[in-house]
A and B are shown apart, each in its own frame.
Chain A
């Protein structure tokens, strides 16, 4: 079974600061997704990256898929309190693309 490790586990920063969350694995994934989960709700998809080296931007969020398709990063510029939540990376296994496994998550708190 492929494993995904996220770092850091917890992050508390001041509004306006920048941050980066990392998602790493020793295995190759066919695609990688990022989700955000808020209390009392299920995770909600932010982005999917498919091609090695791919970079996608979603307003102040920048997502990158590693060249070798084993890792990904999420960078938030000028964080806002509304960015607070649990960020999860998820990879589609090569052997079965419909099996999506999740990283342990990064709990982000933005202080006003």
Chain B
């Protein structure tokens, strides 16, 4: 079965611009989480969407936003880009059904690497 697909894989922007990243989850997975990965900070939680609603949010400024569509596909947007936004942005999906060991297992995409100049 197809994995998590993120587009684009690489992109270069300049300060002040905005960017939109896309994530297509595994079929049947209703939860989509976004993370920012940098060498200095590791994997930082951005937000999680479930059934088109933001259910959890990390500690990022309002310039970072996201949404989820009825087919569970998700997008995240970063406005007014700063140099420090250069990072690998990872999307992960999960079934998120019930409880127990398998309930919230994340399957990641390969990421979108953003460079801000």
A33 at the interface (CB under 8 A from B): yes
**Most chain A CB neighbours (cut-off 10 Å) among B41, B58, B106:** B106
A35-67 near B? 1/0 per residue, CB < 8 Å: 100001111110011100000000000000000
Contact A42 B45 (CB under 8 A): no
B102 at the interface (CB under 8 A from A): yes
CB contacts between A and B, total, < 8 Å: 71
A93-111 near B? 1/0 per residue, CB < 8 Å: 0001111111111000000
With CB as the reference atom, state the residue of chain B lying closest to A102: B43
Assembled-state Cα–Cα distance A74/B90 (Å): 24
Contact A100 B33 (CB under 8 A): yes
Q: Determine how close the nearest CB of chain B comes to the CB of A78; give it in whole angstroms.
A: 27
Known A42-B90, A42-B92; contact A98-B104, beta-carbon cutoff 8 A: yes
Contact partners of B55 in chain A: CB under 8 A: 96, 98
B59 at the interface (CB under 8 A from A): yes
Assembled-state Cα–Cα distance A83/B111 (Å): 22
Residue count of chain A within 8 Å CB distance of chain B: 26
B100-117 near A? 1/0 per residue, CB < 8 Å: 111111111111000000
Assembled-state Cα–Cα distance A26/B37 (Å): 23
Q: Determine how close the nearest CB of chain A comes to the CB of B53; give it in whole angstroms.
A: 12
Contact A98 B31 (CB under 8 A): yes
Contact partners of A48 in chain B: CB under 8 A: 101-102, 105
Contact B45 A43 (CB under 8 A): no
> Which of B92, B100, B106, B111 lies in contact with A50, CB distance below 8 A?
B100
Contact A102 B104 (CB under 8 A): no
B-binding residues in A (CB < 8 A): 1, 31, 33, 35, 40-45, 48-50, 88, 90, 92, 96-105
A-binding residues in B (CB < 8 A): 4, 31, 33, 35, 41-45, 48, 50, 55-56, 58-59, 90, 92, 94, 96, 99-111
9 contacts between A and B (CB under 8 A): A40-B110, A42-B4, A43-B108, A50-B101, A90-B106, A92-B104, A98-B96, A99-B56, A101-B45
